[in-house]
Chains A and B, each alone.
Chain A
Amino acid sequence: MNCESFEENLSVFIDDEASESVAEAMHDHVSACERCASLVAAQNHLSQWVARSSDPICSTLTWDAISKRLDSASAPLAPAPVFANKESTLWHLTKSKRIKVGFALAVAVLLMTSILPLVSKRSSMPNNTLVSTIDLTAVVESFSHGADHAFASLSTEFPGATYPSTDIEDRSVFTSESLPEGVSLVSTKTVQLPPCCCPDGTCSCKPGDCDCVAAICKRPDGSQFLLVSHRDTYGVTLGGTQLVEKKLGEQSYQAGRLNDVLTASWKSDDRRVTAIGLRNEQEAEELIAQQTMVDL
């Protein structure tokens, strides 16, 4: 491989998307070519800065705005004013009938004025009361292809900023002390969950300032698993897969397998932690014990 074809394939190489034979040829080339090695280093450096430059973007958009647009688009043409044509209006009714119709209209107006505030109050309830569970099915399914894929799937499902390893300790609610011995944090990101259902003042899950976090953890042998942490006001589901309630001393947790990927979820103080891709229940319980300070 020469420098020109190396450059042509630079992206597939650094993104780990090259075929095995191309990747091997590129590895051979870059280990012998100083120019291309510096190109890879420069691109990796730039990639880190691009990732850091991502600010969560705040939204003020509401369903009401969309709903109004949809309603106005589907509304039938306005009928002609009732009094525009005397031939077809109330003026053709007898006086007593006009009184009855007037009375009916008055009752209708009265009812509308009584009911509308209630309807309006209901529709102005915060959206955040609607979502109370997070379905991690797609994330767990992606784990069959590795923790990186699951992490990417989480990024697809939920927006948020990704932080490189240098920023992990500052950003993550997970620390090396909260993980079993030998397990380290590899990568972390904030996760912006859909309309937050936490009671006012109990969290900072608003756009731009979210404390829901996901992290990839590496075992001493290099294998990985995924941790997701958020306020306990959300539950976790795996689609139709049953999560079984279990006990570890006083601590309860839920565990289940989807596509042979073991997932465990437990409460830790006011947060819920979900671990995806655990080896077995023993590892799950070691992790839970470490996080919740429960004796095994």
Chain B
Amino acid sequence: MSVNDDVIQRAIAGDRCAQRTIFESLMPRIHQVVGRIVGNSDADDVTQETFVTAFDKLSEFRGDALFSTWLHRIAIHKAIRFKQNRDRRETLSLHEGHEPTHELSNRQETIELVKLAMSKLEPELATILHLKEIDRMSYAEIALMMDIPEGTVGSRLNRARAEMREKLSLLGWEA
């Protein structure tokens, strides 16, 4: 949902109603993006941090990019940092508790394997894969969201996909 300039200006001036409008317009989308990076259980917390930070730094929004893009950048940055910190605390390896299986006939089982492999990707790679494969964004849109050069999107996607194939292969995936 688009947020118009008038609402943004009022929000910058501290108008709580305008800030609420921004929150209600963009929260579902931000929550999905954040949730795909950090998972369902932590999505609310990181989304909340995103909005608190964004409203705190509203005066830094210069209008160079769309407001939603600016907010997505904050969200993606926070989510990636959160996941990196959480992953550092966790020592579970890809193999622990997940014996490779060679019988992947069940659709749900396959989906779970894909999710598991994605959760083991580096956060930046998982994010870029989500933005492309699930949100169907163009390279130009991904570059804006992740604040990277457009030319880097293809190479990172290549890496993400290659690592996905490798991890799934370890889990018994047969394409």
Place the interface of chain B in its size category.
35 or more
Inside 8 A of A70's CB, which chain B residues have their CB? 16, 19, 52, 55-56
- Per the bound structure, the CA–CA distance linking A41 and B40 in Å amounts to 31
CB of A59 within 8 A of CB of B154, answer no
A53 and B115 in contact, given A59-B27, A73-B56, A157-B29 (Cβ under 8 angstroms): yes
Name the B residues within 8 Å of A10 (CB-CB). 158, 161
* Chain B residues closer than 8 Å to A292, beta-carbon distance: none
From B32, B44, B110, A61 is in contact (CB under 8 Å) with: B44
In the bound complex, residues from chain B placing their C-beta under 8 Å from that of A51 are 133-134
Contact B154 A12 (CB under 8 A): yes
Segment with Cβ contacts to B, from A42-50, A223-231, A243-251: A42-50
**Segment from A81-89, A129-137, A173-181, A274-282 that makes contact with B:** A129-137
How many angstroms between the C-alpha atoms of A108 and B165 in the bound complex?
68
CA–CA, A127 to B26, complex, Å?
13
Which of the residues B27, B56, B133 comes within 8 Å of A50, measured between beta carbons? B133
In the assembled complex, A65 has its CB within 8 A of some CB on chain B? yes
Q: Is A152 an interface residue (CB 8 A)?
A: yes
Which A residues are closer than 8 A to B by beta carbons?
7-12, 15, 17, 41-43, 45-47, 49-54, 56-61, 63, 65-67, 69-70, 73, 127, 130-131, 134-135, 137-138, 148-149, 151-152, 155-159, 161-162, 192-195, 207
Given A57-B32, A59-B31, 13 more pairs with CB closer than 8 A: A8-B155, A15-B157, A46-B164, A57-B35, A57-B43, A66-B48, A70-B16, A70-B19, A70-B55, A131-B24, A149-B138, A157-B2, A194-B24
